[in-house]
Structure 1
């Protein structure tokens, strides 16, 4: 019996679980080789064997988290109009930010992790990894709508960037004082952004 591959698979799995747990505990956590290796109970050399760079580790963890969540993606529920499905997906992105005190705490961690300190290569790698995964996830939603004919073919990367910019702004608003109903204002903004994307047709429309 040849089970030579099992230890490698087990070690890789432990590393990914440890890193995903760290992100689950703190979305701004920096996945340093030493911290993740210690959490997984493996050597730094073993971690480097499976993930030669910090970016490789970050991308693998975020992709794994997304793939586990994507199975129940609202974008595939064709009982709802395309605009409602896309808004629901964007709400899933906003959900972890919470509202009020929870949102303020989340933004505080974001500020401490990525804004206040000097932008070292490690900090940039962690943040850009999160951004890439958000972009990939949003482009996936848009590609589903293109495939079913609910959205005209076009520059989905540009569309996704626009939607993620709107979501980032809304997540910040959740942490700030609001005069009107936050839910109503947020819903109106999401539908306005989604309707703009669904109405877009060309890859270069609006460019200058």
Structure 2
């Protein structure tokens, strides 16, 4: 984040406050008033930098993904494409953990997006998360396509498939299981990656 004379800019104060709110509650709606108050800026200042709530959500989620899965990981050609893609996907699952951590993450997801009536605000909040996840996975697939490790095709469709696999795996992490959840998860991730890397029509 940029600093001016040792101080954060008002834009960066807003982003930092919003990231803290998401860190405390992944389903936080990031209302203009709440974020502005947390950042110590006026709502007018927040609106100057982020005219819409969607722009703010997209910026925050992009920054969070950059922390969880740095973009350079997919560019490391010393690692086979299969391993790079599986590792990027694994990193998306990592923050929730397994067992109690995964159950808490699923509980928050349920509380924020499944249990409540699907109001416009609920839809917008979930759409922002989904949009950034899709954008990030499409980016990884585009990198692999450009280097020739993946045949040209519909990367949006492939990304949706991989995100569906991640959604299922994140739920499995929260459920009681016999044996190693992580070993079974690893097998599933490689099966999904191999399906995508071997695809020509998707």
Give the match's secondary structure for 2:152: coil
Offset at residue 83 of structure 1 (A)? 0.7
Partner of 2:114: 115
Instruction: Find out whether 1:105 has 2:104 as its counterpart.
Output: yes
Query: Which ranges in structure 1 are unaligned for 5 or more consecutive residues?
Result: 204-208
Match of 1:79, SS state, is: coil
**Change beyond 3 A, Cα 1:162–1:122:** same
Contact 1:63 1:133 in 2 (8 A): yes
Write out the 4+ residue segments of structure 1 that deviate beyond 6 Å after TM superposition: none
RMSD: 1.8
TM-score with structure 1 length normalisation?
0.89
Query: How many residues are matched?
Result: 197
> What is the match of residue 123 of structure 2?
124
Contact 1:73 1:89 in 2 (8 A): no
Distance 1:115 1:69, change over 3 A: closer
Q: 1:73-108 deviations in whole A, cap 9, x for unaligned?
A: 421222221111110000010011211011101111
Q: How does 1:70-149 map to 2 (within 5 A)?
A: 71=70, 73-149=72-148
1:51 CA drift (Å): 1.4
Superposed displacement of residue 179, structure 1: 1.9
Name structure 2 gaps, 5 residues minimum. none
The alpha-carbon deviation at position 72 of structure 1 amounts to 5.6
Match of 2:37 in 1: 38
